[in-house]
């Protein structure tokens, strides 16, 4: 398998190479939400996986390290992935990917929850939840910075360098036919698709060189409070959630479904630790007896649509996210 990017790049691509600084943190590139699928020979189209983004790095043949998109080590959550990456022949690399768990034939962030919130590799294995890593981009290889090299070439290097078996998979793509691929994704119940400009470099920001088209409505929201349980309910009644707009936490509604008993109990314990006297939102919230919490926890929430007054219709809790700072949560348009 190819190990030296110099041997597979064109002369023009080689001119874009720079020296890689081992240990350098790279903020992952993010896609811009949009709602107009298209087809274009200059773009690649990938499945949108319902998992957790990770960067995997290795220096001088050492033990691979897994980082979340907000620069937290997550090795203990996925020990089998660390082991599989350690078996690779490449000694120095930084690669971008997504960790997923499957519910049937679909990736499921809810299924992945039991792996995200563990304290040790032993606890992760004990969950019995199988995880997989899809690798779709190469940022550095063999001491060479590849971020200025076109995406299509970076993906070719991913496929050539790594051996895909066990929990490791190549994050493939379709060419040109974005609209057809989007229809197929929605018919199969996928999250959606990603469109990426084939000649784009890797940018540490949200970029319009990468676009995402969702088949379902869901996004992250900041938890700013909760209500007391009613009747036989335990834990709490509903989460009060919002998003940031001009540094102000806007109220988006209450989320009362999607919890099992364990989640209700465990999440209430975490909310009690964050409780405070003052309102978390920058506007009045008409919920009687609401408890306010410091806006630190981020929830993934599915919903059918936004109402005219800017609230969520039929919201459902999917899980907590640890890979996104609360201050980065905005309304996706």
pLDDT of residue 9: 84
Instruction: Summarize pLDDT for 262-282 with one digit per residue, the tens.
Output: 999 999 999 999 999 999 999
Report how far residue 47's alpha carbon sits from residue 190's, in angstroms, rounded to the nearest whole number: 8
pLDDT of residue 95: 97
Read off the pLDDT of each residue in 252-256 and give the average, rounded to a whole number. Answer: 96
Read off the pLDDT of each residue in 237-254 and give the average, rounded to a whole number. Answer: 96
Mean pLDDT for all residues in the chain: 93
Structural domains for the chain: 5-29+46-172 (3.30.470.30), 218-328 (2.40.50.140)
pLDDT at 162 over 90: yes
Report how far residue 71's alpha carbon sits from residue 323's, in angstroms, rounded to the nearest whole number: 8
pLDDT of residue 238: 97
Confidence of residue 333 (pLDDT cuts 50, 70, 90): confident
pLDDT at 259 over 90: yes
pTM (2 d.p.): 0.84
Enumerate the β-bridge partners of residue 291. 226
pLDDT of residue 5: 66
Share of the chain above pLDDT 90, in %: 82
Among all residues, which ones are annotated catalytic?
A: 48
Confidence of residue 3 (pLDDT cuts 50, 70, 90): low
pLDDT of residue 21: 84
pLDDT of residue 4: 66
Quick one: the chain helix, strand, coil %, rounded to 5?
20, 35, 45
Q: Are strands 30-33 and 206-214 parallel, antiparallel or unpaired?
A: parallel
Higher pLDDT, 175 or 289: 175
Q: Are strands 18-19 and 168-170 parallel, antiparallel or unpaired?
A: unpaired
Number of C-beta neighbours around residue 167 at 10 A: 18
pLDDT of residue 140: 95
Instruction: Summarize pLDDT for 13-28 with one digit per residue, the tens.
Output: 888 989 998 778 999 9
Read off the pLDDT of each residue in 24-39 and give the average, rounded to a whole number. Answer: 93
């Amino acid at each position: 398998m190819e190990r030296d990017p110099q041997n597979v790049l064109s002369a023009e691509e080689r001119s874009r190479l720079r020296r890689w600084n081992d240990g350098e943190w790279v903020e992952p590139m993010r896609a811009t939400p949009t709602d107009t699928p298209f087809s274009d020979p200059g773009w690649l189209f990938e499945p949108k996986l319902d998992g957790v983004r990770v960067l995997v790095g290795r220096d001088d043949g050492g033990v691979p390290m897994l980082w979340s998109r907000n620069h937290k080590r997550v090795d203990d959550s996925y020990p089998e992935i660390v082991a599989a990456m350690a078996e690779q022949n490449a000694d120095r690399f930084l690669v971008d990917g997504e960790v997923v768990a499957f519910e049937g034939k679909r990736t499921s962030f809810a299924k992945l929850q039991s792996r995200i919130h563990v304290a040790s590799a032993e606890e992760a294995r004990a969950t019995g939840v199988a995880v997989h890593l899809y690798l779709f981009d190469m940022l550095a290889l063999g001491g060479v910075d590849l971020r200025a090299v076109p995406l299509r070439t970076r993906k070719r290097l991913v496929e050539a360098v790594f051996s895909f078996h066990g929990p490791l998979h190549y994050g493939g793509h379709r060419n040109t036919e974005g609209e057809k691929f989007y229809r197929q994704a929605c018919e199969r119940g996928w999250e959606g698709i990603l469109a990426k400009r084939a000649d784009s470099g890797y940018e540490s920001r949200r970029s319009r060189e990468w676009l995402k088209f969702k088949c379902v409505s869901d996004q992250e929201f900041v938890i700013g409070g909760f209500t007391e349980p009613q009747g036989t309910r335990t834990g709490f009644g509903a989460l009060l959630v919002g998003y940031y707009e001009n540094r102000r936490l806007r109220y988006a509604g209450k989320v009362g479904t999607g919890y099992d008993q364990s989640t209700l109990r465990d999440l209430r314990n975490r909310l009690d630790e964050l409780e405070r006297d003052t309102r978390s939102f920058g506007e009045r919230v008409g919920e009687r007896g609401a408890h306010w919490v410091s806006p630190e926890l981020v929830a993934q929430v599915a919903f059918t649509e936004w109402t005219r007054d800017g609230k969520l219709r039929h919201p459902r809790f999917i899980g907590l996210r640890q890979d996104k700072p609360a201050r980065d949560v905005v309304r996706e348009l």
